[in-house]
Each structure stands twice: as C-alpha cells, then as structure tokens.
Amino acid sequence: MSYLRIWTRPSTAPAMALFKTFHHFPGGRVSYQRCRRVMPKILVRLGRLKGLIYTSDRGRRGRPRTFVHFLETPPTLASNGAGTQLYILGGRYRVTRRGIEG
C-alpha cells in the first residue's frame, strides 16, 4: 500500500499581519525562500547581542530609514563552525507596532 502525501504551504496570514503591524502598511506578495532549518549541533559563542542596526521602510513605504535598537536582555550571538551563518539565541524581545522591543 502506498500513501500520497499532499504538502500544503503554511498559512501566510500571521506573517502578513505582523508585517502590517510592524511597517504600518500592508505587504506585497509573499515570497518563499529556502532556509536551512537544522541548527548545527555545535555553535561558536561570539558574545552578547547588545543592539541591532537595520534599514527598513517601516512607517514610510519606499523611503527606508536606519533604526538602532539596544536590547535590554541581550540574546547570545553565535555562528556555525564555518563562520558562515549567524544565530541569535534567547533574549527577551518582540516585534510590535512600536518596532523591536526588549
């Protein structure tokens, strides 16, 4: 007996709602990208991630600005053994209408 597994993409509704909450305008089309989901068994601890600096058009579609966030409870910053992928581990932060908080 053989089984046919029908794969369906997960709902995009939560991600689209978060995009709109964060950016203050609805997102465009959804894109799917490959993402390695397996965490290496061994990571190199680089230190504490005290802040983030990023560019986004948050609040002003098509007009990107630079945002700086200092984290109150810094997560650990780590990399894989080859030094080609970063990982953010732990911390207490969340993405809200006000931006990245915590």
Would you state the pLDDT for residue 50? 95
Give the Cα separation of 39 and 85 in Å (integer): 10
Q: Among residues 54, 89, 95, which one has the least CA distance to residue 75?
A: 89
Q: Could you tell me if 90 and 102 are in contact, meaning their C-beta atoms sit under 8 angstroms apart?
A: no
pLDDT bin (cut points 50, 70, 90) of residue 101 is: confident
Report d(CA 42, CA 49) in Å as an integer.
19
pLDDT band at 99 (very low <50, low <70, confident <90, very high): confident
Q: Could you read off the pLDDT of 25-81 as tens digits, one per residue?
A: 998 888 777 777 788 999 999 999 999 999 999 989 999 999 999 999 999 999 999
